[in-house]
Amino acid sequence: MTGPADLQRFAVKIFAERRAPLEVSEFIPVFHRWIRDRAVPGILIDVADYGHLPEGPGVMLVGHEADYAMDAMEGPFGLLYTRKRPSPGALAGRLEAALRAAQAAGAKLEEEFAGRLVIGKGEALFLSNDRLLAPNDGAAFEALRPALESAASAVFGGADVRREEGDPRRRLAVRLTCR
């Protein structure tokens, strides 16, 4: 039997703060350069501009294993790392790897937009992209909590882990607030 610990498709979002005017369209040439220069791990495929959609995914760097997006859909503006392909190891390790990948990409974006953008200073969001393995309910959250706490501890030095209550038809969302 499979359950939340078998989750492979999920996203982590590290919130960003715009410290100066910054349009989502400014990420397009950066992401194109990342493809050319292989700036982040994995096979990078294309850049998609969804900036015309209010509260949409903004600009997306599409990859084979994972996507990166400057996103305004789930919570505040931030860098959304979406894992699409299976990765080895226990769930806590997969979550930690995703958080670290998002942090590394965030650090690169901070360099690209020096002084205009700060990413990852205090909060992150975990999103399940598999409602069969991890539905938006208390039982799935409790099953995922130890792995989320372990990953948050390894990456942030600890975090409060809290389920975002709401419509059970939406995907499971968990807020990680750094201590």
- Read off the pLDDT of residues 80-134 as tens digits, 9 standing for 90 and up: 999 999 999 999 999 999 999 999 999 999 999 998 999 977 789 999 999 999 9
Give me the pLDDT at residue 176, please. Answer: 92
Q: Give long-range contacts, CB 8 A cutoff, 24+ apart: 97-104.
A: 98/10, 98/11, 98/12, 98/66, 98/151, 99/12, 99/14, 99/124, 99/151, 99/152, 99/155, 99/156, 100/155, 101/40, 101/41, 101/66, 102/12, 102/13, 102/14, 102/68, 103/14, 103/155, 104/40
Q: Averaged over 47-73, what is the pLDDT?
A: 90
Give the Å distances, CA to CA, from 118 to 83, 100, 132, 159. 23, 16, 35, 19
Give me the pLDDT at residue 54, please. Answer: 76
Query: Domains of the chain: which residue ranges?
Result: 4-178
Give me the pLDDT at residue 78, please. Answer: 92
CB of 110 closer than 8 Å to CB of 27: no
Q: In this structure, what is the dihedral angle of CA atoms 35, 79, 132, 62, given to the nearest 10 degrees? A: -20
Q: What share of the chain is helix, strand, coil (3-state, %, to 5)?
A: 30, 30, 35
pTM of the model as a whole: 0.93
Give me the pLDDT at residue 73, please. Answer: 82
Q: How many CB atoms lie within 10 A of CB 62?
A: 18
